[in-house]
Amino acid sequence: MDLSECTERLDEELRTADYADLDASANGLQVGPDEGEIERVAFAVDGVRETFERAIAADADLLVVHHGLSWGGFDRVTGRTYDRIAPLIEGDLALYVSHLPLDGHQELGNAAGVADLLELEDRAPFGELGPEHIGQRGTAADPYGPDELRERLEEHLETDEQPVQALDFGPDEIENVAIVTGSGTDWLDEAVATDADALVTGEGKQKAYHEAQEAGTHVFLAGHYATETVGVRALQELVEAWGLETTFLDVPTGL
Protein backbone atom coordinates (compact mmCIF):
# COMPACT_ATOMS: atom_id res chain seq x y z
CA MET A 1 0.00 0.00 0.00
CA ASP A 2 1.21 3.50 -0.72
CA LEU A 3 2.06 5.56 2.36
CA SER A 4 -0.16 8.42 1.23
CA GLU A 5 -3.14 6.06 0.83
CA CYS A 6 -2.62 4.64 4.32
CA THR A 7 -2.32 8.04 6.00
CA GLU A 8 -5.27 9.45 4.07
CA ARG A 9 -7.43 6.51 5.17
CA LEU A 10 -6.33 7.00 8.78
CA ASP A 11 -7.03 10.74 8.59
CA GLU A 12 -10.51 10.09 7.22
CA GLU A 13 -11.37 7.41 9.81
CA LEU A 14 -10.07 9.50 12.71
CA ARG A 15 -11.40 12.85 11.42
CA THR A 16 -7.97 14.33 11.93
CA ALA A 17 -8.82 17.67 10.34
CA ASP A 18 -11.67 18.28 12.78
CA TYR A 19 -9.20 18.48 15.67
CA ALA A 20 -6.70 20.80 13.99
CA ASP A 21 -7.65 23.84 16.08
CA LEU A 22 -8.14 21.87 19.31
CA ASP A 23 -4.95 19.85 19.68
CA ALA A 24 -1.40 21.00 20.30
CA SER A 25 -0.24 17.78 18.65
CA ALA A 26 0.51 17.91 14.93
CA ASN A 27 -1.71 14.96 14.06
CA GLY A 28 -1.32 12.98 10.88
CA LEU A 29 1.96 12.23 9.11
CA GLN A 30 4.65 13.99 11.16
CA VAL A 31 7.78 12.55 9.56
CA GLY A 32 8.11 10.88 6.18
CA PRO A 33 7.91 11.34 2.43
CA ASP A 34 4.68 12.14 0.62
CA GLU A 35 4.90 8.89 -1.36
CA GLY A 36 6.38 5.45 -0.80
CA GLU A 37 5.33 1.84 -0.48
CA ILE A 38 4.74 0.37 2.96
CA GLU A 39 4.29 -3.28 3.90
CA ARG A 40 4.75 -3.41 7.67
CA VAL A 41 3.33 -0.97 10.25
CA ALA A 42 4.37 -0.77 13.90
CA PHE A 43 2.17 0.70 16.63
CA ALA A 44 3.11 2.23 19.98
CA VAL A 45 1.72 4.66 22.52
CA ASP A 46 4.76 6.98 22.50
CA GLY A 47 6.88 8.24 19.64
CA VAL A 48 10.31 8.16 21.30
CA ARG A 49 13.78 6.93 20.48
CA GLU A 50 13.13 3.47 21.95
CA THR A 51 10.01 2.84 19.87
CA PHE A 52 11.69 4.25 16.76
CA GLU A 53 14.63 1.88 17.16
CA ARG A 54 12.38 -1.10 17.90
CA ALA A 55 10.18 -0.33 14.89
CA ILE A 56 13.24 -0.19 12.65
CA ALA A 57 14.48 -3.48 14.12
CA ALA A 58 11.06 -4.98 13.31
CA ASP A 59 11.52 -3.86 9.69
CA ALA A 60 8.54 -1.48 9.85
CA ASP A 61 8.04 1.16 7.18
CA LEU A 62 5.60 3.21 9.27
CA LEU A 63 5.15 3.75 13.00
CA VAL A 64 1.74 4.87 14.29
CA VAL A 65 1.69 6.45 17.76
CA HIS A 66 -0.62 8.33 20.11
CA HIS A 67 2.00 10.76 21.46
CA GLY A 68 4.16 12.19 18.72
CA LEU A 69 7.13 14.52 18.39
CA SER A 70 5.60 17.88 17.57
CA TRP A 71 3.53 19.78 20.14
CA GLY A 72 3.39 23.20 18.54
CA GLY A 73 6.40 22.80 16.26
CA PHE A 74 10.18 22.97 16.63
CA ASP A 75 12.34 26.05 16.88
CA ARG A 76 15.46 24.00 16.23
CA VAL A 77 16.24 20.36 15.56
CA THR A 78 19.27 20.07 17.80
CA GLY A 79 20.34 18.29 20.95
CA ARG A 80 17.84 15.83 22.32
CA THR A 81 15.31 16.66 19.57
CA TYR A 82 17.89 15.81 16.91
CA ASP A 83 18.86 12.60 18.73
CA ARG A 84 15.23 11.53 18.87
CA ILE A 85 14.43 12.30 15.22
CA ALA A 86 17.66 10.92 13.75
CA PRO A 87 16.64 7.22 13.84
CA LEU A 88 13.53 8.01 11.78
CA ILE A 89 15.56 9.57 9.00
CA GLU A 90 18.43 7.09 9.18
CA GLY A 91 16.05 4.12 9.31
CA ASP A 92 13.71 5.44 6.61
CA LEU A 93 10.80 5.14 9.06
CA ALA A 94 7.70 7.28 8.63
CA LEU A 95 5.80 8.51 11.72
CA TYR A 96 2.03 8.97 11.94
CA VAL A 97 0.44 10.51 15.03
CA SER A 98 -3.12 10.57 16.36
CA HIS A 99 -3.59 12.24 19.73
CA LEU A 100 -7.02 13.76 20.46
CA PRO A 101 -8.58 12.30 17.29
CA LEU A 102 -7.86 8.82 18.67
CA ASP A 103 -9.09 9.80 22.12
CA GLY A 104 -12.35 11.03 20.65
CA HIS A 105 -13.18 8.21 18.24
CA GLN A 106 -16.36 6.63 19.55
CA GLU A 107 -15.57 3.14 18.26
CA LEU A 108 -11.79 2.82 17.99
CA GLY A 109 -10.76 5.38 20.59
CA ASN A 110 -9.06 4.94 23.93
CA ALA A 111 -12.16 5.74 25.99
CA ALA A 112 -14.29 3.50 23.77
CA GLY A 113 -11.86 0.65 24.41
CA VAL A 114 -12.05 1.14 28.17
CA ALA A 115 -15.85 1.24 27.90
CA ASP A 116 -15.66 -2.07 26.00
CA LEU A 117 -13.72 -3.80 28.76
CA LEU A 118 -16.17 -2.47 31.35
CA GLU A 119 -19.04 -3.71 29.13
CA LEU A 120 -20.86 -0.39 29.33
CA GLU A 121 -24.16 0.10 27.53
CA ASP A 122 -26.15 3.14 26.33
CA ARG A 123 -22.96 4.96 25.44
CA ALA A 124 -22.63 8.62 24.55
CA PRO A 125 -19.78 11.04 23.84
CA PHE A 126 -18.18 12.59 26.92
CA GLY A 127 -15.33 14.96 27.64
CA GLU A 128 -16.36 18.09 25.79
CA LEU A 129 -13.56 20.01 24.11
CA GLY A 130 -14.90 22.77 21.90
CA PRO A 131 -17.18 21.17 19.33
CA GLU A 132 -15.67 17.69 19.91
CA HIS A 133 -15.53 15.09 22.68
CA ILE A 134 -12.46 13.15 23.77
CA GLY A 135 -14.13 10.50 25.94
CA GLN A 136 -17.17 8.36 26.39
CA ARG A 137 -19.71 7.53 29.08
CA GLY A 138 -22.05 4.61 29.56
CA THR A 139 -24.03 2.46 31.96
CA ALA A 140 -23.06 -0.84 33.54
CA ALA A 141 -25.65 -3.57 32.97
CA ASP A 142 -24.88 -4.84 36.47
CA PRO A 143 -23.60 -2.12 38.83
CA TYR A 144 -20.00 -2.46 39.96
CA GLY A 145 -18.79 -2.22 43.52
CA PRO A 146 -15.79 0.12 43.81
CA ASP A 147 -13.35 -2.74 44.42
CA GLU A 148 -14.88 -4.77 41.60
CA LEU A 149 -14.44 -1.96 39.08
CA ARG A 150 -10.86 -1.34 40.18
CA GLU A 151 -10.04 -5.04 39.91
CA ARG A 152 -11.55 -5.24 36.43
CA LEU A 153 -9.39 -2.36 35.26
CA GLU A 154 -6.30 -4.00 36.72
CA GLU A 155 -7.18 -7.30 35.07
CA HIS A 156 -7.87 -5.99 31.57
CA LEU A 157 -5.55 -3.00 31.17
CA GLU A 158 -1.81 -3.20 30.56
CA THR A 159 -0.90 -1.63 33.89
CA ASP A 160 2.59 -3.20 34.10
CA GLU A 161 1.47 -4.69 37.42
CA GLN A 162 0.90 -1.23 38.86
CA PRO A 163 -2.19 -0.94 41.08
CA VAL A 164 -5.11 1.20 39.95
CA GLN A 165 -5.51 4.10 42.36
CA ALA A 166 -9.04 4.85 43.51
CA LEU A 167 -10.52 7.93 45.15
CA ASP A 168 -13.46 6.20 46.80
CA PHE A 169 -15.86 9.03 47.46
CA GLY A 170 -18.86 7.84 45.45
CA PRO A 171 -21.78 5.47 46.01
CA ASP A 172 -21.47 1.80 46.95
CA GLU A 173 -22.89 0.82 43.56
CA ILE A 174 -21.36 2.25 40.38
CA GLU A 175 -23.72 2.30 37.43
CA ASN A 176 -22.94 5.41 35.38
CA VAL A 177 -19.30 5.68 34.32
CA ALA A 178 -17.50 8.53 32.51
CA ILE A 179 -14.14 7.98 30.81
CA VAL A 180 -11.40 10.28 29.60
CA THR A 181 -8.08 8.47 29.24
CA GLY A 182 -4.63 9.87 29.92
CA SER A 183 -4.86 13.00 32.05
CA GLY A 184 -8.61 13.49 32.36
CA THR A 185 -9.46 14.77 35.83
CA ASP A 186 -10.23 18.21 34.37
CA TRP A 187 -13.52 16.65 33.20
CA LEU A 188 -14.63 15.72 36.74
CA ASP A 189 -17.17 18.56 36.80
CA GLU A 190 -18.70 17.27 33.57
CA ALA A 191 -18.84 13.78 35.06
CA VAL A 192 -20.74 15.15 38.04
CA ALA A 193 -23.06 17.17 35.79
CA THR A 194 -23.93 14.02 33.82
CA ASP A 195 -24.69 12.06 37.03
CA ALA A 196 -21.69 9.78 36.69
CA ASP A 197 -20.94 7.65 39.73
CA ALA A 198 -17.31 7.36 38.67
CA LEU A 199 -14.74 8.94 36.37
CA VAL A 200 -12.13 6.59 34.92
CA THR A 201 -8.94 8.21 33.70
CA GLY A 202 -5.19 7.63 33.63
CA GLU A 203 -3.48 10.02 36.00
CA GLY A 204 -4.67 12.61 38.47
CA LYS A 205 -3.90 16.04 39.81
CA GLN A 206 -3.68 17.06 43.47
CA LYS A 207 -6.91 19.04 43.35
CA ALA A 208 -8.86 16.02 42.05
CA TYR A 209 -8.83 14.42 45.50
CA HIS A 210 -10.74 17.27 47.11
CA GLU A 211 -12.99 17.83 44.10
CA ALA A 212 -14.01 14.18 44.05
CA GLN A 213 -14.56 14.15 47.81
CA GLU A 214 -16.73 17.26 47.72
CA ALA A 215 -18.72 15.97 44.75
CA GLY A 216 -19.22 12.48 46.19
CA THR A 217 -17.82 10.83 43.06
CA HIS A 218 -15.36 7.98 42.53
CA VAL A 219 -12.23 8.61 40.48
CA PHE A 220 -10.14 5.70 39.19
CA LEU A 221 -6.57 6.42 38.09
CA ALA A 222 -5.56 3.44 35.95
CA GLY A 223 -2.36 4.85 34.46
CA HIS A 224 -1.76 7.20 31.54
CA TYR A 225 0.03 4.56 29.47
CA ALA A 226 -2.35 1.74 30.39
CA THR A 227 -5.50 3.62 29.44
CA GLU A 228 -4.04 4.69 26.10
CA THR A 229 -2.87 1.35 24.74
CA VAL A 230 -6.41 0.27 23.88
CA GLY A 231 -7.02 2.78 21.10
CA VAL A 232 -3.62 2.15 19.57
CA ARG A 233 -4.32 -1.58 19.51
CA ALA A 234 -7.71 -0.94 17.89
CA LEU A 235 -5.98 1.06 15.15
CA GLN A 236 -3.58 -1.84 14.68
CA GLU A 237 -6.50 -4.20 14.07
CA LEU A 238 -7.98 -1.75 11.55
CA VAL A 239 -4.75 -1.42 9.56
CA GLU A 240 -4.18 -5.18 9.67
CA ALA A 241 -7.63 -5.60 8.10
CA TRP A 242 -6.39 -3.42 5.24
CA GLY A 243 -3.90 -6.15 4.39
CA LEU A 244 -0.75 -4.75 5.99
CA GLU A 245 1.53 -6.61 8.39
CA THR A 246 1.51 -5.06 11.86
CA THR A 247 3.28 -5.28 15.20
CA PHE A 248 2.67 -3.65 18.58
CA LEU A 249 5.60 -2.25 20.54
CA ASP A 250 4.86 -2.38 24.27
CA VAL A 251 6.99 0.15 26.15
CA PRO A 252 5.18 0.69 29.46
CA THR A 253 6.14 3.61 31.65
CA GLY A 254 4.35 2.55 34.83
CA LEU A 255 2.76 5.99 34.90
255 residues of the chain, pLDDT tens digit each: 999 999 999 999 999 999 999 999 999 999 999 789 999 999 999 999 999 999 999 999 999 999 999 998 877 889 988 999 999 999 999 999 999 999 999 999 999 999 999 999 999 999 999 999 999 999 999 999 999 999 999 999 988 888 999 999 999 999 999 999 999 999 999 999 999 999 999 999 999 999 999 999 999 999 999 999 999 999 999 999 999 999 999 999 989
Type of residue numbered 219 = V
Together in a domain, 188 and 118: yes
237: Cβ–Cβ under 8 A, 6 or more apart, which residues?
none
Can you give the pLDDT at residue 74? Answer: 79
Together in a domain, 133 and 29: no
Task: Say if 252 falls within a structural domain.
Answer: no
CB 25, CB 86: distance < 8 Å: no
Closest to 84 measured CA to CA, from 102, 58, 65, 101:
65
Together in a domain, 71 and 118: no
Segments forming the whole domain that contains residue 196: 103-224
Together in a domain, 20 and 62: yes
Query: How many domains is the chain partitioned into structurally?
Result: 2
Task: Say if 253 falls within a structural domain.
Answer: no
Together in a domain, 92 and 111: no
Beta strand 94-97 with 165-167 is unpaired
Q: What is the CATH number of the domain that holds 152?
A: 3.40.1390.30
CB 244, CB 1: distance < 8 Å: yes
Task: Say if 133 falls within a structural domain.
Answer: yes
Task: Say if 254 falls within a structural domain.
Answer: no
Task: Say if 152 falls within a structural domain.
Answer: yes
Residues 187 and 153: their CA atoms lie apart, in Å, by 20
CB 127, CB 184: distance < 8 Å: yes
Q: Which residues are annotated as a binding site for a divalent metal cation?
A: 66-67, 103, 224, 228
Together in a domain, 127 and 198: yes
| Cα angle value 99/100/101 (rounded, 5°) | 95
Together in a domain, 108 and 208: yes
Together in a domain, 198 and 108: yes
**Nearest 10 degrees: Cα torsion 86, 249, 125, 164:** -120
Together in a domain, 123 and 142: yes
Task: Say if 208 falls within a structural domain.
Answer: yes
Which burial class, exposed, middle or buried, applies to 195 when counting CB atoms under 10 A from its CB (0-12, 13-18, 19+)?
A: exposed
Residues 35 and 30: their CA atoms lie apart, in Å, by 14
**Could you tell me where the DSSP H helices lie in the chain?**
3-14, 49-57, 79-90, 100-104, 110-117, 146-156, 188-193, 206-215, 224-227, 229-241
Q: Which residues are annotated as a binding site?
A: 66-67, 103, 224, 228
Residues 99 and 1: their CA atoms lie apart, in Å, by 23
Residue 176: strand pairing partners: 139
Together in a domain, 125 and 37: no
Together in a domain, 123 and 151: yes
C-alpha distances in angstroms, 250 versus 42, 46, 83, 165, 234?
11, 10, 21, 22, 14
Together in a domain, 235 and 190: no
